[in-house]
Amino acid sequence: MKCQSYKNGDCVNNKDGICQTHKSEDGLSLHCCGSWSKDKIDHFEYYAEMFSTGMKNKWNGRLYYVDLFSGPGKCIARENLEEFDGTCMRAVNIKDKFNHYFLVDTNSLCIKDLKQRLKNEKNRSIFLQTTL
């Protein structure tokens, strides 16, 4: 099933790419993207995990993850409405965790929803809202 707004050519009504027609299963916002984004994020997760595992004993064990456009943490593919984790959620859930996560976005809703989704990681996460 496709997003009806996508069929009408009006899928993203928000300059930050927040889906205006669907919410996540947890009731929070979703980043609207193409279905190819899931493959891209799968590749990202593979390399992030390879890096964190390979470097966990370097730099006194201090590994930092920075995501400058973190979004709300979850995505929805406009072509098939599949919901999946964004890059920051994938980074938080890898086996050899980073020590700290710096998550940045310009949208206050993204930061608010990301804080909610990562409430169990609040001691290791720093959320920053910025302007361009």
Which of 102, 35, 41 has the alpha carbon at shortest distance from 69?
102
Look up the pTM and report it. 0.85
In the predicted model, what is the mean pLDDT of residues 55-62?
A: 88
For the cut 50, the answer to whether the pLDDT of residue 44 exceeds it is: yes
Q: Which fold is adopted by the domain 4-129?
A: Rossmann fold (3.40.50)
74-98: string of b/e by CB count within 10 Å (b at 16+)? bbbbbeebebbbbbbbbbbebeebb
Domain ranges of the chain: 4-129
The Cα 67–Cα 63 span in angstroms is: 13
The Cα 99–Cα 7 span in angstroms is: 42
In the predicted model, what is the mean pLDDT of residues 63-81?
A: 92
